[in-house]
Amino acid sequence: MVGAFGGVGTTITLGLAAMARGLADRTGLVTALPPFRDLPLPEPGDFVVGGHEIRSTTFAESAEEFRRTSGVFDPAWIAACRAELDAASARVRPGPRLGLSAVVSGLADWAEARAARTARQAVDAIATDLGAFIASESIDHLIVLNVGSTEPPFPLGDVHQHWKTLKPRLDDASQVLPSSSLYALAAIEGGHSHINFTPSLGGSMPAIHELAQATGALHAGKDGKTGETLMKTVLAPMFAHRNLKVSSWVGHNIFGNRDGLVLDDPTSKTSKVETKDRVITEILGYKPSSIVTIEYLPDMGDWKTAWDHIHFQGFLGTKMTLQFTWQGCDSLLAAPLAIDLARLTDLEKQRGGKGQMRHLACFFKSPEGVMENDFFKQFDRLIDHVAKPQRP
Amino acid sequence: MVGAFGGVGTTITLGLAAMARGLADRTGLVTALPPFRDLPLPEPGDFVVGGHEIRSTTFAESAEEFRRTSGVFDPAWIAACRAELDAASARVRPGPRLGLSAVVSGLADWAEARAARTARQAVDAIATDLGAFIASESIDHLIVLNVGSTEPPFPLGDVHQHWKTLKPRLDDASQVLPSSSLYALAAIEGGHSHINFTPSLGGSMPAIHELAQATGALHAGKDGKTGETLMKTVLAPMFAHRNLKVSSWVGHNIFGNRDGLVLDDPTSKTSKVETKDRVITEILGYKPSSIVTIEYLPDMGDWKTAWDHIHFQGFLGTKMTLQFTWQGCDSLLAAPLAIDLARLTDLEKQRGGKGQMRHLACFFKSPEGVMENDFFKQFDRLIDHVAKPQRP
Amino acid sequence: MVGAFGGVGTTITLGLAAMARGLADRTGLVTALPPFRDLPLPEPGDFVVGGHEIRSTTFAESAEEFRRTSGVFDPAWIAACRAELDAASARVRPGPRLGLSAVVSGLADWAEARAARTARQAVDAIATDLGAFIASESIDHLIVLNVGSTEPPFPLGDVHQHWKTLKPRLDDASQVLPSSSLYALAAIEGGHSHINFTPSLGGSMPAIHELAQATGALHAGKDGKTGETLMKTVLAPMFAHRNLKVSSWVGHNIFGNRDGLVLDDPTSKTSKVETKDRVITEILGYKPSSIVTIEYLPDMGDWKTAWDHIHFQGFLGTKMTLQFTWQGCDSLLAAPLAIDLARLTDLEKQRGGKGQMRHLACFFKSPEGVMENDFFKQFDRLIDHVAKPQRP
Amino acid sequence: MVGAFGGVGTTITLGLAAMARGLADRTGLVTALPPFRDLPLPEPGDFVVGGHEIRSTTFAESAEEFRRTSGVFDPAWIAACRAELDAASARVRPGPRLGLSAVVSGLADWAEARAARTARQAVDAIATDLGAFIASESIDHLIVLNVGSTEPPFPLGDVHQHWKTLKPRLDDASQVLPSSSLYALAAIEGGHSHINFTPSLGGSMPAIHELAQATGALHAGKDGKTGETLMKTVLAPMFAHRNLKVSSWVGHNIFGNRDGLVLDDPTSKTSKVETKDRVITEILGYKPSSIVTIEYLPDMGDWKTAWDHIHFQGFLGTKMTLQFTWQGCDSLLAAPLAIDLARLTDLEKQRGGKGQMRHLACFFKSPEGVMENDFFKQFDRLIDHVAKPQRP
């Protein structure tokens, strides 16, 4: 896990342990639904959790902070899973700081193991850690999952179009890739799986896709669809199917976790807002007036509250309104989806899959390689895919 | 139209005229969406509107009342379509009062043409009016559309199981059928099409279905899915597909049109509440705690406001909440769907269809003959059906 | 405390201990505001908590249950205050079951100390317990606080008009008084203070008020104004002062604590709904259409969610809407107000006060002896009262 | 009226006529409440409406546009009051463009009567129009009411501190005053009354206050308190009086009238946001985290929807939430208050009042010369003031 000690990473780690111990049930896991029941998916106890971080803390500390500020996690479960939390903490390594945004750099308080001056040095440092993890834990399938802070938008250029043009530039000292892409590259170059749960760039560029074809690495992204955007991809099809004309869609989001702190930086926020706004236009086929805000309010903790106001026109020009308020705990919504993605990626590996996993679109706000944004059509595609005993 | 001068009937009549004159566009009509564009559907100007009523008024008066109390309908359109409204008003006949609920009887102020003492007399009186309408207007396909007030639940017995047992009982003076079923029977016995847009009984019984098989009458029902229930059949699948456990679903509805006045009678309300509650359980596969209220507030006019509070449990037992407020104008949501149903029924007639039209499930809260409640699956079925050039 | 182990009683007990230990600050206590700072009010550590119950449990168990179901109370505070909780639990006595409603009787699982067959026997049994508490704990001012379950409305008759007519009837076996009034009587007959924080009858009858005049007992009630009704008494004056005409006010309440379970019984609910509805009419000076529901949903725990929809008419007949959603934790809102009432009652005692304390109206939904329902005017009255060094 | 053909100006003009004709009642007028009934206030028919504008249109056109886009105004009333609307339109003069913000300038399509190059020239041009209006209509009390578009914040300097320093600078070509202040100056220099219903600068500076002292002109401002801010000044005292700690207050506003278009310009928006934010801090006595947005969505018309999310902490650190949604029609809320202000200003004139009218604070978001922001305390002050037969 990239950004392991964050809210999502901590919830994944505690959640896997609590499920393995039979404390928690599987509510929230899509892969616990009937269509997935007979598939050879890895069980919670089969995962070995590790990762990279730039903040010096532990899963136990992070879980306790979460409980206190957000009122989540039964304290009895934290206590019962203490051994697993500590073991996982010991498997987290200090990550390189190259390519971090200014605001994330400001949070870094863990000394780097090896300072990297070029992308190549950073990728190699990460790869060395991944290799050591595989060796010491006898990992048979390594999945690198990005659950780190959101980065500002990173503009792609000609250099990112082909692996043969990108590869030599990794040795420059220039900022040719953001941090998230360095981790993606380390994974994919090594033939490991990579899942980008964040809106950051990660492996989303032709050059890295090309590399994945060559190494056979599985990959999927990006930006887990947890709350308000999930609602948008469910409700927008309803308006479309009823031929109700959406004249404006306003979405205001407030939340207070560390991701919010990072998003409070205007440049980081841009990537998130763009994604949230785009899906409506793509589903409706036209662009209604729209406003999207994401604001950081420390007192909200991990609780994301979204208020959406949808103004639509019905028959004979009649204006009507739908409003919704979503009060969800972000990390608790994200973590089971990330576990689902890991389980389904492993299934794909068992089936001999390679490259981009388009069938995982229903988990993402910006599903790579997929034009379909309607949640239910995306879900049907997943069901169809896993139901096939063999890949085509 | 049964209950022609009500909100839905008035909106249909004004709407068809306004579309035929090119004043109004087709927003709100499902059959105006791309998958329906090349089908031989009747155009707005092809319909000849008539009906039955028990209140003595006109479409023009009703439209004006609507405009004043609910702020809908451009006054310029009412004026421009005055000729069509008056012509349609002249085609509305006083309906028999037999089988009306007490509260609806209390609204009746139009003298009956022929007082019916038995169901058979009432059915024949209606059939006579239908025949006269067909003859005078040269109607080639008669569709009887129930947009009347909601009746109290009507318990079915053995007598309603077969046409041969029901038929002789029609001559009794006893209340063997409610008003809505008398109209359904008149239509179906005559081989005409019948659509029940209300939660009333109408033709929903084995005896009448059997009769429809014999006469070849097309029929579909019941209870148009306009607002809160539409939302329920869209959102419940989302929770199910994410394996989020809905612990309670509360839905409070307020509105102030004549339908609300009738529903304010507790016995009539029961039919509506049952339908609204049932769909969630059927989609989720378990029954969350639930509350549904429908309350009449005269000052709301035709504006139905629904507040829904959905309490759900996510990963690690975390409780979260979704609330929505739907502010829709009921008749303006219903009328285009009723027009869609009439257009699609005519298509079915052209294609040689007979009996129950299961492919219209997405328009109904309680789709007859269909177990599927997920709106999107219902919609896909409609699209598949109309896409086939021939019926199987 | 009557109904000591309930949510409010438990929160009071834990809260006093947590404040005395300096763990918790005084947020939520009105008497911690500047106008009260220099008054000789008792401090949290000055209170000795005891009471009556019919359920066999403890404050520690009840606090733990609360934490688990409603996510309130820092577990570290429960642990730190364990000694105070246990000591207080030991001071709670089993109460008589005479006069309990059927639904509350069904919750009773603690054997009565002395079965009472007449009101007099029950009052004397309670008085004996109160006397023993005063003696063993050296109490200098006993305040009986009713925080028990809501009773059904209890109709008053001629017998309740004068103490001389009520007194002899106490020896009958007939149900002359509900349970809440037996406790009120025991307190007031003994010259102790009595505060009714619930909508139950308690001491609200001329006969007991007369008795309080004679014994000099201080008393106040009834029904603590914690959430939705507080909002109503704040917002209704706003509409009145702007001459905006409220056409309808709808309030739907859902919650899941034990009080909700009791209110789920329709007869108990009536008292609560009446109070909530009345204040709006009294403030506005006319009665808008209104709906009030209170529904029990076990999954909500102590979290009361109220949705209010206020439809109002402005200038030139323009209809507008205000909606609010209140998500409050009922016991945590009630407990500090009950502590405020106890502190202010003690102040009144120090100042030589007797009988009805009308200046406490701002704490109650149905303030006894007071016609003013506007929260801010009630609050001003409290401030004026406490500012006077001498009573008039 | 400055900005006469805007939404507020149009509603005032139509409203006065509709009330004078007995079509409309006085709902929404504070001065129609009992405490004001016996005061010698001018009646609707006593007002002669005129004004300045920069857009070339009429009250009748503006009213019709409003009806169409926002569903307000009974068309029968517009027709019935056509004569008054046309007469009033004829009394509106093209205003000078000097000192307009760029975005407002962009809306100007009415040729100036006299192009002004200096503030003095503009003030004199306005004064000439005012004088002509008084003469032709035999006005005995001229009240200049600013209901024009919101200006960007205008920084005050030393020059604005005293009339003797400001006066000579009026002859410069430099932008020493914004447009709103030119109108204020013309009014106050002439000894006429001035009311600033907008957040623009107007007469809010020591130099003009000093001048008002000298000429005896009555004045009040600024920024009419119509909707969300009214709610804030009602609810914030509730939290304060209950000692509930507000940790964050988020307010998102959307609307679509011309004022919104102007506010969409970021510099204009700043003045409005500052005011809305400030009141909470001043009432609570501390600054919670806060967010205020005002966004322009053309499809909303004159309907302002505000969603406020208030996160507060109660007893024992328990976090709770209040949310409200206000759906108000801005001009219809503003117009009656502006009429109230005119009526009360006339009363003050009759009583011999001069200078700043602090007792009108309850009508304003930023009441000049008044520290009190609590709506109910402001209202009490108004009632006290008008109840006095003589000024002190």
Q: What pLDDT, in 10s, does the model give residues D289-334?
A: 988 888 888 898 889 999 999 999 999 999 999 999 999 999 999 9
Average model confidence (pLDDT) across chain C: 92
Residue of chain D whose Cα is closest to the Cα of C236: D234
In 3D space, the residue among A295, A272, A258, A9 whose CA is nearest the CA of residue A151 turns out to be A272
Q: Does D75 touch chain C (CB under 8 A)?
A: no
Q: Write the pLDDT tens digit of every residue in D268-297.
A: 666 666 666 788 998 999 999 988 888 888
Specify the pTM: 0.93
Q: Write out the DSSP string of D290-311.
A: EEEEEEE-GGGTTEEEEEEEEE
Mean local confidence (pLDDT), D68-94 = 95
Question: Quick check: A10 and A59 in contact, CB under 8 A?
Answer: yes
Question: What percent of chain D clears pLDDT 70, i.e. is strictly above it?
Answer: 95
| Per-residue CA distances from D220 to B132, C190, D195, D372 (Å) | 72, 60, 5, 15
Q: Write the pLDDT tens digit of every residue in C202-248.
A: 999 999 999 999 999 999 999 999 988 899 999 999 999 999 999 99
In 3D space, the residue among C40, C66, C55, C49 whose CA is nearest the CA of residue C12 turns out to be C49
Residues of C in contact with A68 (CB under 8 A): 74
Answer whether residue C175 shows pLDDT above 90: no
Mean local confidence (pLDDT), A12-38 = 96
Q: Does C237 touch chain D (CB under 8 A)?
A: yes
Task: State how far the Cα of C261 lies from the Cα of C269, in Å rounded to an integer.
Answer: 10
- Domains of chain D (ranges; CATH) run 7-224+332-387 (3.40.50.720), 228-328 (3.30.360.10)
Tell me the shortest Cα–Cα distance from D284 to chain A, in angstroms.
17
Cβ distance of A325 and B324 shorter than 8 Å: yes
Q: Does C322 touch chain B (CB under 8 A)?
A: no
Task: State how far the Cα of B69 lies from the Cα of B371, in Å rounded to an integer.
Answer: 38
In 3D space, the residue among C201, C260, C162, C220 whose CA is nearest the CA of residue C343 turns out to be C220
Q: How would you class D390 by CB atoms within 10 Å of its CB: exposed for 0-12, middle for 13-18, buried for 19 or more?
A: exposed
Answer whether residue A389 shows pLDDT above 90: no
Report the DSSP beta bridge partners of residue B294.
B253
Chains in contact with A, where contact requires at least 3 CB pairs less than 8 Å apart:
B, C, D
Q: Write the pLDDT tens digit of every residue in C266-308.
A: 666 666 666 667 889 989 999 999 888 888 888 988 899 999 9
Average model confidence (pLDDT) across chain D: 92
Question: Quick check: D217 and D193 in contact, CB under 8 A?
Answer: yes
Query: Computed over its alpha carbons, how large is the radius of gyration of chain D?
Result: 21
pLDDT value of residue B392: 43
pLDDT value of residue A392: 43
Chains in contact with C, where contact requires at least 3 CB pairs less than 8 Å apart:
A, B, D
Cβ distance of D323 and A325 shorter than 8 Å: yes
Tell me the angle at which helices B206-215 and B179-189 cross, rounded to the nearest 10 degrees: 20
pLDDT value of residue C320: 96
Q: Write the pLDDT tens digit of every residue in A261-319.
A: 776 666 666 666 666 678 899 899 999 998 888 888 889 888 999 999 999 999 999 99
| Per-residue CA distances from C60 to A208, C20, C65, C74, C79 (Å) | 59, 17, 9, 13, 9
Residues of C in contact with B71 (CB under 8 A): 319
pLDDT value of residue C325: 97
A319 SS3 class: strand
Task: State how far the Cα of A160 lies from the Cα of A81, in Å rounded to an integer.
Answer: 43
CB-nearest partner of D243 from C30, C322, C362: C30
Query: Which token pair is B11?
Result: 């909106």
Tell me the angle at which helices D82-90 and D59-70 cross, rounded to the nearest 10 degrees: 120
pLDDT value of residue C268: 60
Q: Does A293 touch chain D (CB under 8 A)?
A: yes
Residues of C in contact with D73 (CB under 8 A): 316
pLDDT value of residue B388: 81
**Residue A144: which H helix or E strand, with range?**
strand A143-146
Q: How would you class D112 by CB atoms within 10 Å of its CB: exposed for 0-12, middle for 13-18, buried for 19 or more?
A: middle
Question: Quick check: D314 and C329 in contact, CB under 8 A?
Answer: yes
Where do runs of H (alpha helix) occur along chain D?
Answer: 7-20, 59-70, 75-80, 82-90, 102-105, 119-137, 163-169, 179-189, 206-215, 228-241, 258-263, 266-284, 330-350, 375-387
Cβ distance of C75 and A75 shorter than 8 Å: yes
CB-nearest partner of C71 from A68, A71, A325: A71
C194 SS3 class: strand
In 3D space, the residue among A139, A137, A148 whose CA is nearest the CA of residue A108 turns out to be A148
Task: State how far the Cα of A97 lies from the Cα of A3, in Å rounded to an integer.
Answer: 12
Q: Phi and psi (nearest 5°) for C52? A: -125, 150
B203 SS3 class: coil
Q: Count of CB atoms within 10 A of residue D271's CB? A: 22
Q: Write the pLDDT tens digit of every residue in B17-58.
A: 999 999 999 999 999 999 999 999 999 999 999 999 999 999
Cβ distance of B71 and D71 shorter than 8 Å: yes
A250 SS3 class: strand
Residues of D in contact with C329 (CB under 8 A): 314, 318, 320
A377 Cβ neighbours under 8 A, 6+ residues apart: none
Task: State how far the Cα of C185 lies from the Cα of C165, in Å rounded to an integer.
Answer: 14
**Residue B247: which H helix or E strand, with range?**
strand B245-255
Residues of A in contact with C74 (CB under 8 A): 68
CB-nearest partner of C238 from D74, D234, D314: D234
Question: Quick check: B181 and B99 in contact, CB under 8 A?
Answer: yes
Place of tokens 């989020």: B244
pLDDT value of residue D392: 43
Least confident of A28-32, A56-60, B368-372, D88-92: B368-372
Task: State how far the Cα of B368 lies from the Cα of C278, in Å rounded to an integer.
Answer: 45
pLDDT value of residue B111: 87
Mutate to test the interface with B, among A23, A315, A332 (most CBs of B within 10 A): A315
Mutate to test the interface with A, among D303, D307, D320 (most CBs of A within 10 A): D307
Query: Which token pair is D358?
Result: 């602090």
Query: Which token pair is B36?
Result: 């329906």
Residues of D in contact with C74 (CB under 8 A): 316-317
Instruction: Determine the distance from the C-alpha atom of residue B126 to the mean position of all C-alpha atoms in its chain, rounded to a whole number.
Output: 19
Report the DSSP beta bridge partners of residue C289.
C248
Instruction: Determine the distance from the C-alpha atom of residue D320 to the mean position of all C-alpha atoms in its chain, rounded to a whole number.
Output: 35
Q: Write out the DSSP string of B266-279.
A: HHHHHHHHHHHHHH
Query: Which token pair is B282?
Result: 């059927």
pLDDT value of residue D161: 96
Cβ distance of B71 and D75 shorter than 8 Å: no
Mean local confidence (pLDDT), D120-131 = 97
Mean local confidence (pLDDT), C100-117 = 87
Tell me the shortest Cα–Cα distance from B71 to chain D, in angstroms.
6
In 3D space, the residue among B95, B91, B124 whose CA is nearest the CA of residue B112 turns out to be B95
A236 SS3 class: helix
Mean local confidence (pLDDT), B104-131 = 92
Task: List the C143-146 sheet strands across, edge first.
Answer: C143-146, C193-196, C218-221, C355-356
